[in-house]
Structure formats: C-alpha cells, structure tokens
Structure 1
Amino acid sequence: MLMLLSISSCGKNIAFQNSIVVPAANGSVNVTKDSNKNYLIKIKISDLAEVNRLQPSKNVYVVWMETDGDIVRNIGQIKSDSGFLSSKLRATFETVTAYKPSKIFITAEDDGDIQYPGMQMILSTNKF
C-alpha cells in the first residue's frame, strides 16, 4: 500500500507597510521553514508601478532580507507574473535561504547585483 503524506509547515504571513513612494502598492510576505531547516520566502505584490516610471527612474526592484543579527542581504530581483510587470502591475518573488529573516524590504535600484540597499525604499515589513 502506498501512502502519501502532505507535510505543511505553518508560516508567518506578514503585510508590507504602506509605501510613500508607490502609495497604491500593497502586498505580503509568507515565510515558512522547510524540512531542511531553510526558510522559504514568498512575496506577492499588486499595484506596483513600473520601476522606470518612478522619480527618479530606476532599472530594477531588489528584494532585501534583514536577519536576526541585523545583517542585510540582497536576495534577488522582483519578477512579475508575466514579464517584468504584468498589465495588472502584479509581481511575485520566491526564494530559499538558510538565514532566518526578521524583516523584508524592497528598494528601487539602478543595478540588481548591488550589495547594499539604496535610499529609494518601496515596500517594507515591520520586524517579525
């Protein structure tokens, strides 16, 4: 007899705070711990303006993670449901990290491979 088990780890669902730069943008972050003790981070955003329409104009949205030790890491770039941003301005992001996140935030940047966040904060969670 073949038995299938579905194991789901309860995670944290954290809402982004209201954005000053893109007031219509809203979204949430879901963080779950997997069986390997890694952290799966899933982000869903809606009404996010195209990055090149910001003032000043930028090239990419970068997702950052702050860890319990207050270390900030670039964990990737926002990709949309279809192309960079879908026609409904929705975007999703998913990554796995060995580090426990305590805050997630998104900045608009000229380059996606930077090591430190710039000053143009788009969305941020509170510490969790």
Structure 2
Amino acid sequence: MKNKGDVFSIPSIIVLGLLNPCKLKTKIMNYIQNLLLIPAFLVFSACSSKADFPVSRVTPAADISAKKSKDGQGNFNLEIVVENLAAVDRLDPPGKNYSVWVVTMEYGVRNVGKLNVKNSKKTTFNTVTPFDFYEVFITVENKGDLEYPVGIEIARTKI
C-alpha cells in the first residue's frame, strides 16, 4: 500500500507488475491502444470536415450540408448535399440559378459553380478548387458566371 510521500520508481512498478502480471499486461495494452488511437484520429480528422448550413429564411424547408476534403494534388473538394430546396424560379423574387461561393483567406470570395435544382428531393453538388476556403455560401442569381455575388443569400456556413 502506498503511503503519503511514497514515490514509485520504474523498477518498483516493474516489480509490482511482476507480482501481478495480468495487471501489467492490461496496463501496457491500454497504453498501446491509446497511442494508436491518437494518430488515427488525427489522420481521419485532417482528411475532411463537414458542416450543416443553418435554416434559411428564404428557403426554410431546405436541409443543406457541406463536406470539404483535400486531395493528393493539394486541391480542395467540396461536396454539397441539398434536400427539399425549391427551384429558383419558384422563389420571390425568382432567379435563374443558385450559385455556390467559397470564402478564402488569400483570394477572397470565389464562385465555384452552379447548384442545379429542379424541385427535387435531393441534389448533390461536387467541385474541385485550388483555393483553401473556410466558408461556403449559396445565393440566388440571374447570371451564372459572376465574379461577385449580387443576389439574395440563401445560406452560409463555416467549414
């Protein structure tokens, strides 16, 4: 039994472990498992990040999520999954398309494509961009090739 002021040294721990080899084996296995879990967690958490968009005031029925990942060439993949988003011509005021934008640290706001929705239950948007981004947002636009957003913002999230 350990008294106040007793300090266990490495040899005493080994001796105690030899007296009870099952406890020592269990402690070593737990330690190894914890060491292996840390790098695995870091690898998988560094591969991708996911974010849900908040409920939109313009299209409240829409359920939107985004996933960002980095590929082997250093480009960034963006996948957006949209459910129950109304077609742009049904909005008030109506538009021609939904544009997807990313916000980058170095290059500001960038248009990365159009989200094609035809009153479908589920739509998926995928794109690859060289820009590392930290925010994604969707707007209703009357043109598809805009440099900067001018239409109504549907939803925005940090990722």
Between the aligned partners of 2:108 and 2:88, the Cα distance in structure 1 is 26
Which residue does the alignment assign to 1:51? 88
Which residue does the alignment assign to 2:136? 104
Q: TM-score, normalised by structure 1?
A: 0.83
Which residue does the alignment assign to 1:4? none
Moved more, 115-124 or 58-67: 115-124
Q: Which has the higher helix share?
A: 2
Question: Aligned pair count?
Answer: 115
Q: Aligned ranges for residues 1-128 of structure 1 at < 5 Å?
A: 10-69=47-106, 71-79=108-116, 84-85=117-118, 87-88=120-121, 90-125=122-157, 127-128=158-159
Shift of 1:85: 2.1
Q: Which runs of 5+ in 1 are unaligned?
A: 1-7
Shift of 1:16: 0.8
Deviations 1:44-81 (A, max 9, x none): 000101100101010100000100236001100002xx
Shift of 1:119: 3.9
Structure scoring higher RCO (CA < 8 A, sep ≥ 6) equals 1
Shift of 1:118: 1.7
Q: Which has the higher strand share?
A: 1
| Structure of larger gyration radius | 2
Between the aligned partners of 1:86 and 1:24, the Cα distance in structure 2 is 12
Between the aligned partners of 2:118 and 2:66, the Cα distance in structure 1 is 18
CA RMSD of aligned residues (A): 1.6
Q: After the TM superposition, which parts of structure 1 deviate over 4 Å for at least 4 consecutive aligned residues?
A: none
Assess if the C-alpha contact under 8 Å between 2:83 and 2:120 holds in 1: no
Shift of 1:87: 3.6
Q: TM-score, normalised by structure 2?
A: 0.67
